[in-house]
């Protein structure tokens, strides 16, 4: 139970302090609503859930790594900026992939829905 409590506190920290995490939560919530609205296959649902989890998990890892780099700030190493930028790039790539997956899955359903 203690581990769950710490994990919950970590997620709440990111939710309250990280604008990108807040935006990603909104996007994930929208994807879940669309997922429940349209008759997606099991594979499509799994891809949506996995995409959301991957984006949020990588954002949490990015937040943790940024905090570690901030601790080192008094003696900042030139690679600290590189590390932060690389992690931000990783979050960007996985976010773009999640958007592409969402578009590939939802556009046909939205097109069908709008024809009615």
Active-site residue among 18, 24, 44, 59? 59
CA distance 57 to 79: 23
Q: How many degrees, rounded to 5, is the angle at CA 98 between CA 27 and CA 46?
A: 95
Residue 72 CA to chain centroid, in angstroms? Answer: 26
Tokens of 59: 């954002």
Q: Does the annotation mark 59 as catalytic?
A: yes
With left for phi above 0 and alpha for psi between -120 and 50, is residue 41 left, alpha or beta?
A: beta
What residues act catalytically?
A: 59
């Amino acid at each position: 139970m203690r581990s769950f409590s710490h994990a919950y506190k970590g997620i709440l920290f990111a939710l309250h302090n990280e604008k990108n995490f807040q935006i990603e939560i909104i996007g994930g919530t929208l994807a879940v609503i669309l997922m429940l609205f349209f008759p997606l296959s099991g594979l499509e649902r799994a891809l949506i859930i996995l995409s959301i989890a991957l984006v949020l998990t990588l954002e949490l890892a990015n937040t943790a790594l940024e905090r570690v780099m901030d601790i080192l700030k008094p003696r900042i190493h030139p690679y600290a900026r590189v590390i932060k930028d690389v992690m931000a790039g990783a979050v960007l790539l996985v976010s773009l992939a999640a958007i592409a997956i969402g578009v590939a899955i939802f556009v046909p359903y939205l097109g069908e829905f709008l024809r009615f």
